[in-house]
Chains A and B, each alone.
Chain A
């Protein structure tokens, strides 16, 4: 048998305390719903369309959209928002800078006891999941949207928000334990154009 040598690993252990998903309501009827528009291009179109479906089909009457203005930063209004929000949606992460921050906003709302989902485009879901796990929230629900979000026809952009509504509602109204279990085990598809290392 070959002789062995000891080598040191170059990684550092994350040091985040584990967070569980916030307790979820049975339905959104009559609840105060907060949406964070991260300010990334087209997020407003997606979220406005999503809000309209929540109003029309899920009985939501109190919807407030909080606009962050610029996507590569944490929302400065989490405490204020948490105080006047029963359930929340944070998005749309569709690049390498906006996705982590939309996830971190969602984690911070969950920490404040507000059930939240993050909306992330397909290419950035594995990244969003890594950030959630690094923040200690391995069960944070992430709703996968098609990528790219932007295209010439604005109605097609809006359709991405319309199509995401049912999944958002499911993840905001499923018992927290089940959500945690689902997302701790969830494996998102690899992004497009990634060549495996041989």
Chain B
């Protein structure tokens, strides 16, 4: 096997011409997630790069910690091929790589932490329907190629360019099923409020990716109540728990409304900001109980909490708009809650490039 630098700066290797041989070799190197990959032959990589023809393939998108590998369009494309992506997904993966490399995401410590967080990708805008992302029933689950392979492609880039090999460098104590793939889209048609990207200042016709380092989604059932304040009571009790990092270091946790829960709340005249304000007030625990448990308090722990008062109530976010609220999923009385690591890793939204 000859290991050499290709003319384009990306290394290549000669392997026996079989799917099995490539998979065995890549698996042994720790470059896969344990599932089979598509061998990234030069012609497949060229086809992947054709999904973003307005960009130079050797352009450096950034440096991926902790191994400090150089992310060019070309070696992102290598990882996208391995993941089974279609070329049309390339702009989404490139935007996702750019997003996790923003300082406020804190990728260096997200790659190595014991905390069970994975980069949750949330897509908004016209590209959702253009590339067939699932935003409805089964949104967090398997079955849709775009969701499955975009999340997997980002994951491969983080492992292979950033060296975050599980249990060797990535010390996520129990791992995270979202580290196979973790990509959803917002159900904008069922959202009674402004979609996430519009809330964040993008135009409705722009396509945007938001990345947030999130724990696994936790189902919150509210089949009975339709009164917004009672729905909020159920949510708040699921969200503010003593094992939850957000109680100790806040940040940008995620509430994914099911369409039915959202429609009840909106029908009563509530805005999205009303939801965020209600959960800011209601999802709290008393300082006297949480002060000596859980974990160290984060750098953005709210200063206005009176630490001389054991009855002072501690919120899971610093201000209402820090709670990411979106609508996705299918029929039923469930909504989902994804805690995050805390404010040492904040969410980042990036426009997805569509043309030159």
Residue from B17, B63, B109 within 8 A of A3 (CB atoms): B17
Number of chain A residues whose Cβ lies closer than 8 Å to a Cβ of chain B: 41
**B68 pairs with A8, CB closer than 8 A:** no
Q: How far is the CB of B131 from chain A (nearest CB, A)?
A: 22
**B14 pairs with A8, CB closer than 8 A:** no
Residue from B14, B79, B106, B160 within 8 A of A5 (CB atoms): B14
**B171 pairs with A8, CB closer than 8 A:** no
**A8 pairs with B12, CB closer than 8 A:** yes
Query: Is B125 located at the chain interface by the 8 A CB criterion?
Result: no
Query: Is A141 located at the chain interface by the 8 A CB criterion?
Result: no
Number of chain B residues whose Cβ lies closer than 8 Å to a Cβ of chain A: 60
Residue from A13, A96, A135 within 8 A of B112 (CB atoms): A96
Report which residue of A6, A16, A69, A70 has the largest number of chain B beta carbons within 10 angstroms of its beta carbon.
Answer: A6
Report which residue of A9, A71, A135 has the largest number of chain B beta carbons within 10 angstroms of its beta carbon.
Answer: A9
**B65 pairs with A134, CB closer than 8 A:** yes
Give the residues in chain A near B39, CB-CB below 8 Å. 5, 7
Query: Is A185 located at the chain interface by the 8 A CB criterion?
Result: no
**A11 pairs with B109, CB closer than 8 A:** no
Report which residue of B21, B114, B170 has the largest number of chain A beta carbons within 10 angstroms of its beta carbon.
Answer: B114
**B65 pairs with A127, CB closer than 8 A:** no
Query: Is A97 located at the chain interface by the 8 A CB criterion?
Result: yes
Query: Is A64 located at the chain interface by the 8 A CB criterion?
Result: no
Partner-B contacts on A (CB < 8 A): 2-16, 39-41, 69-73, 95-97, 99-101, 123-124, 126-127, 130-131, 134-135, 191, 194-195, 197
Query: Is B234 located at the chain interface by the 8 A CB criterion?
Result: no
**B69 pairs with A14, CB closer than 8 A:** yes
**B11 pairs with A95, CB closer than 8 A:** no
Cα distance A194–B114 when bound, in Å?
A: 13
**B296 pairs with A14, CB closer than 8 A:** no
Using A10-B79, A13-B70, A99-B112 as known contacts, list a sample of 10 further A-B pairs with CB atoms less than 8 Å apart, ordered by residue number in A: A2-B17, A7-B13, A7-B22, A7-B41, A10-B78, A10-B156, A13-B69, A14-B69, A96-B109, A123-B171
Cα distance A28–B185 when bound, in Å?
A: 59
- Residues facing A in B49-99 (CB within 8 A) are 63-72, 75, 78-79, 82
Partner-A contacts on B (CB < 8 A): 3, 6, 10-18, 21-22, 26-28, 30-31, 39-42, 45, 63-72, 75, 78-79, 82, 106, 108-109, 112-115, 156-157, 160-161, 163, 167-172, 295-296, 298-299, 344
Q: How far is the CB of A18 from chain B (nearest CB, A)?
A: 13
Residue from B40, B67, B157, B169 within 8 A of A8 (CB atoms): B40
Specify the chain A residue showing the minimal Cβ separation from B162: A12
Give the residues in chain A near B64, CB-CB below 8 Å. 12
Q: Give 25 CB contacts A-B under 8 Å.
A: A3-B16, A5-B15, A5-B22, A5-B39, A5-B41, A6-B41, A7-B15, A7-B22, A8-B6, A10-B26, A10-B82, A10-B156, A10-B160, A11-B69, A12-B160, A12-B161, A40-B296, A70-B296, A70-B298, A73-B344, A123-B171, A127-B66, A131-B66, A134-B66, A134-B67
Specify the chain A residue showing the minimal Cβ separation from B297: A70
Residue from B13, B16, B171 within 8 A of A9 (CB atoms): B13
**B344 pairs with A7, CB closer than 8 A:** no
**B171 pairs with A6, CB closer than 8 A:** no
Residue from A4, A12, A40, A126 within 8 A of B16 (CB atoms): A4
Cα distance A12–B68 when bound, in Å?
A: 8
**A127 pairs with B169, CB closer than 8 A:** yes
**A7 pairs with B296, CB closer than 8 A:** no
**A72 pairs with B344, CB closer than 8 A:** yes
Given contacts A10-B78, A95-B114, contact A197 B170 (CB under 8 A): no
Cα distance A5–B21 when bound, in Å?
A: 10
Q: How far is the CB of B199 from chain A (nearest CB, A)?
A: 27
Residue from B31, B45, B63, B113 within 8 A of A11 (CB atoms): B31
**A15 pairs with B40, CB closer than 8 A:** no
Q: How far is the CB of B189 from chain A (nearest CB, A)?
A: 37
Given contacts A39-B296, A70-B299, contact A134 B163 (CB under 8 A): yes
Nearest 6 A-B pairs (CB), nearest first? A12-B69, A96-B171, A97-B109, A10-B160, A96-B112, A96-B113
**A8 pairs with B112, CB closer than 8 A:** no
Cα distance A15–B9 when bound, in Å?
A: 13
**B70 pairs with A12, CB closer than 8 A:** yes
Cα distance A6–B12 when bound, in Å?
A: 6
**B66 pairs with A130, CB closer than 8 A:** yes
Given contacts A10-B40, A194-B167, A197-B27, contact A15 B106 (CB under 8 A): no
Residue from B16, B67, B79 within 8 A of A2 (CB atoms): B16
